[in-house]
Structure 1
Amino acid sequence: MAFVCALSNEVPETPVVSPVSGSVFEKRLIEKYIQENGPKDPINGERLELKQLIELKPASFLKSKAPTHTSIPAILKSLQDEWDATMLYSFTMKQQLQTALQELSHCLYQHDAACRVVARLSTELSKAREALAILKPQQAEQRNGANGMNGDEQDKEQAGISNLNEVLGISVEIKMKLHETAALLTQGRKAKAKIIPPSLASLEDVMNYQMVASLTGLHSPSSPGIMCLDVQNEWIVTGGNDKMVSIYDQASKTIVTSLKGHTKKVMNVACLQDEKLVVSGSMDSTARVWHVPTSRCIQTINAHKMAITGLSVHPTKDYLLLSSLDEHWSFVDLESGAIYARVRGDDGESEPGMAITSAKFHPDGLIFATGTFGADVKVWDVKEQQNVATFTGHGGTVVAVDFSENGYYLATAADDASVKLWDLRKLKNFKTIQMEPGFKITDVVFDFSGSYLALAGSDVRVYACKSWSEVSIFGEHTATATGVRFGNDARWIASTSMDRSCKIYSVQETQL
């Protein structure tokens, strides 16, 4: 009789093997069989003594399954459990692999960016050394000749140095003008907020926007890269890595003029088409006011000691807000270049080295916002020159700020691949638009109606302001996009990039 484990809760006895037939029996059963039927093997009937039986002993490292595994349902359940555990382990491993790939991609991007920065700095250092080598003999000649600069030039140079340090202060008359302008703008905005412009581009139109033009001849190909952008009416104004400011007219499809005068790349531009003026800020630490019809610089503003990082024109169009890497912001007269205020951006509350990276006036002109390397966003009172609110939450340098025309929302973009929306009434963040890891953001802007929000960086994206949902993505640029602006009534969108192009997006049938 062959050995079979009983399907019970009892643990089976030690099995034995018959050397006669080679069969396996339960010891208790084979002993009982021999006692009742004599010393013979139950399989082949040959003689079998009890002493001939061989006990089977399992290895110490093997553990027999519980009695429950002797039933088919129990075995199936055990197999299902093992399958589930295997699948869960496989899923966990895939998740960890995906996370590792994302982290690796981010690290490679950072490494590439660091290599580019090092290469650029090395190039600039070489150029600086060459310029210094040329400058030293010239300085020696001037000292030896004692006539290298006439009295008038010396007076101008001394005046420029004193102008940098002279702050006139914001007078009562200026404060009254700011207050009256803000009151009129606030009243007008409340009336406009209830009415959506009939000519405003619809959500469906913006969703169907396509690239309708690509302008590649605005700046020199020898120093590729457009660093900044501004749009007003039909003018598209760009500042380039070639130290020039270019103005393009959409109506005539021509370049109006190219403005030369800065000695380093132009990082900020502001357009005042109605006044035929353009304002630019540069890495050479100056801001310039240009008269477009004559292509002439009518004012050079020396309000800072380091690169200009932010530039915004006051709603009165009489004053200018500048921010700089020298950790200060300034309030300047647009016509005369007089400095009415120059204030340190940390307000004496944080450690030195907190450079200001961006600045923008509120639509009313009584307050403005600045972004910092320290990831903070500060809101300032122009008249009192005081920090009235500080927003924290970004995880990287704040690269761009912009106010909605409704006066309530502030959008800020940072190196942490996010855009945050702040409610100025409640002084809190009510929405964060988080991009995928490694996404670079360089600019953020509302359209004039406050209906759409656009950002530029790794690509160009447009969002609807009520739902904050993504409307369109434009990926036509072959390098990082550096600026984005809406045309009148959001009927078209312009963007600039380090690929030396300015691209225009609209419905395909629109004749710009």
Structure 2
Amino acid sequence: MFCSITKEPVQDPVISKKTGHLYEKRIIQKYLEENHKCPITGEEMTEDDLIELKTGTSTLAGKPRPPTATSIPSLLTLFQNEWDSVMLETYQLKQQYQKVRQELSHALYQHDAACRVIARLTKERNEAREALINLQQTLNAQAPAEDTEMTDASNGIGMTPEIIENMSNTSNALSKVRRKRKPGPEVATHDEVKSFSSKIEIPSLHSTNPSGILSVDLLTDTVKDKKVTWALTGGKDGHVNIIDYENDGKIVQTEKAHSKKINQVTWYTKQDKMPGAFFTASADKTVKLWSCDVDSDDKTISNQYAFKGHSAEITSLSIHATGDYFASASVDSTWSLVDLATNQLIVKVAKDEIDTVYLIKQWTELCHLSSNGDNITSMCWGPNSKSLASVGMDRSLRFYGI
């Protein structure tokens, strides 16, 4: 008996009582679920119209053998064909496997190359952004502003009698006090300096590219009735950091001060006149005066003015004892004296006019301290010489004390 649909011998035969056609039960059931019609005549038909036939054969007998599998030679031929099919399929699977491996290897190579390109483009984007920021700051710094920029006349106003008198009076007053003054008990002795050891180290300050801190200065004073213990650092990245070194090295504020590296930072000596003020000297040929708002919660830093009296990188600056003037030195072989009150260049001295004066009383090594991991770029004494701060190219600020 053969199924009317598959034309093959049936294992579980059923017959339609409407049409009389013979079917394989599982096949006709599936067909009726979708079509509800007789597959031969097209008449309406349901599973209730099917009648199972009892053939008397065991279900264990399985599917009848085809005529080609009724003899040993036929079976050998059938097995050979099956073996050939299996071998052919295995060969095709191996080919597909090799192809997939090659595609995966190529995809991984492309992914790695894409990651490298993305990393390079990201780096170039960051460098371009930083260059744009530096350019914008340079343009802003060069913009004309009568109330924020100091006059940088080539020769200056000269040493007027008022300036000479102010300096002379300050010098005489300090000389009288200095002759009588003796080191107080609060000043560190030689033995105390010999016992210095590393107390605090604050790593990872400033940017890593370019890396390095070039200058440091300490401020231990009462500013607007507030006790401050601040360290000021200037780095190759053009930033300044204010760190509270008595408060676990907490960063109080940071500011992008210059477009190029900062060679020196120094707190203004007269904090009662200008609370929170400090100077920065940079390779961008400018000296700037900044003010930190001690009263605000975020300690905002703002630029007061910029002096541009040099034609090359400024390497150093120093504030006069009067607190009214500062001197700046440059690699253009000149140094300038500037009046803070009038924002004017007083005098500019060229290399042929500079005299060198040395005053050395005694040089004696008191102690040798372990330094920063890289080159030390700047050091500064703390109040009463009780502590010593150093910075270096390893971007760390280190304090030594008793």
Aligned length: 248
Q: After superposition, give the CA deviation of every residue in 1:26-59 in whole Å (9 maximum; x if it has no partner).
A: xxxxxxxxxxxxxxxxxxxxxxxxxxxxxxxxxx
Identify the residue that residue 189 of structure 2 maps to in structure 1.
202
The question of whether the paired residues in 2 share the 8 Å contact of 1:214 and 1:504 is answered with yes
Identify the residue that residue 475 of structure 1 maps to in structure 2.
370
Matches within 5 A, 1:15-34: none
The question of whether the paired residues in 2 share the 8 Å contact of 1:299 and 1:335 is answered with no
1:165 partnered with 2:154: yes
Q: CA deviation at 1:290?
A: 0.4
In 2, the alpha carbon distance for the partners of 1:206 and 1:320 equals 31
Question: For 1:261, which of 242, 248, 257 is the aligned residue?
Answer: 257
Q: After superposition, give the CA deviation of every residue in 1:240-293 in whole Å (9 maximum; x if it has no partner).
A: 011011122233342222122311000011112723111010000000000011
Matches within 5 A, 1:246-395: 246-253=241-248, 254-272=250-268, 274=271, 275-293=275-293, 294-347=300-353, 387=355, 390=356
Identify the residue that residue 168 of structure 2 maps to in structure 1.
179
1:156–1:166 CA distance, 2 compared to 1 (3 A)? farther
CA RMSD of aligned residues (A): 2.9
Matches within 5 A, 1:149-160: 156=145
Amino acid at match of 1:304: H
Identify the residue that residue 214 of structure 2 maps to in structure 1.
227
The question of whether the paired residues in 1 share the 8 Å contact of 2:150 and 2:305 is answered with no
In 2, the alpha carbon distance for the partners of 1:295 and 1:485 equals 22
1:213 partnered with 2:208: no
Q: After superposition, give the CA deviation of every residue in 1:96-133 in whole Å (9 maximum; x if it has no partner).
A: xxxxxxxxxxxxxxxxxxxxxxxxxxxxxxx9xx98xx
1:166–1:154 CA distance, 2 compared to 1 (3 A)? farther
Q: CA deviation at 1:162?
A: 7.1
In 1, the alpha carbon distance for the partners of 2:149 and 2:372 equals 41
1:296–1:155 CA distance, 2 compared to 1 (3 A)? closer
In 2, the alpha carbon distance for the partners of 1:235 and 1:154 equals 32
The question of whether the paired residues in 1 share the 8 Å contact of 2:286 and 2:306 is answered with yes
In 2, the alpha carbon distance for the partners of 1:218 and 1:248 equals 10
Q: Under a length normalisation based on structure 2, what TM-score does the superposition of the two structures give?
A: 0.56
Question: What secondary structure is seen at the aligned counterpart in 2 of 1:312?
Answer: strand
1:176–1:281 CA distance, 2 compared to 1 (3 A)? same
Amino acid at match of 2:391: T
Identify the residue that residue 123 of structure 1 maps to in structure 2.
none
1:488 partnered with 2:383: yes
In 2, the alpha carbon distance for the partners of 1:488 and 1:332 equals 27
Amino acid at match of 1:170: M
The question of whether the paired residues in 2 share the 8 Å contact of 1:230 and 1:271 is answered with yes
In 2, the alpha carbon distance for the partners of 1:162 and 1:297 equals 16
The question of whether the paired residues in 1 share the 8 Å contact of 2:284 and 2:313 is answered with yes
Matches within 5 A, 1:17-96: none
1:160–1:489 CA distance, 2 compared to 1 (3 A)? closer
Question: For 2:232, which of 233, 237, 250 is the aligned residue?
Answer: 237
1:475–1:161 CA distance, 2 compared to 1 (3 A)? closer
The question of whether the paired residues in 1 share the 8 Å contact of 2:149 and 2:305 is answered with no
Q: Could you say which structure has the larger radius of gyration? A: 2
The question of whether the paired residues in 2 share the 8 Å contact of 1:224 and 1:499 is answered with yes
The question of whether the paired residues in 2 share the 8 Å contact of 1:164 and 1:304 is answered with no
In 2, the alpha carbon distance for the partners of 1:172 and 1:484 equals 36
| Bigger Cα displacement from structure 2, 176-185 vs 468-477 | 468-477
Question: What secondary structure is seen at the aligned counterpart in 2 of 1:474?
Answer: coil
The question of whether the paired residues in 2 share the 8 Å contact of 1:282 and 1:307 is answered with yes
Query: Larger % of strand: which?
Result: 1
Q: CA deviation at 1:164?
A: 4.6
Q: CA deviation at 1:155?
A: 5.5
In 2, the alpha carbon distance for the partners of 1:344 and 1:209 equals 41
Q: After superposition, give the CA deviation of every residue in 1:56-75 in whole Å (9 maximum; x if it has no partner).
A: xxxxxxxxxxxxxxxxxxxx
In 2, the alpha carbon distance for the partners of 1:261 and 1:269 equals 11
In 2, the alpha carbon distance for the partners of 1:269 and 1:184 equals 27
Question: What secondary structure is seen at the aligned counterpart in 2 of 1:470?
Answer: coil
Q: Share of identical aligned residues, percent?
A: 28
Amino acid at match of 1:269: V
The question of whether the paired residues in 2 share the 8 Å contact of 1:299 and 1:336 is answered with no
In 1, the alpha carbon distance for the partners of 2:253 and 2:365 equals 36
Question: What secondary structure is seen at the aligned counterpart in 1 of 2:156?
Answer: coil
Q: Under a length normalisation based on structure 1, what TM-score does the superposition of the two structures give?
A: 0.45
The question of whether the paired residues in 1 share the 8 Å contact of 2:150 and 2:343 is answered with no
Amino acid at match of 2:280: S
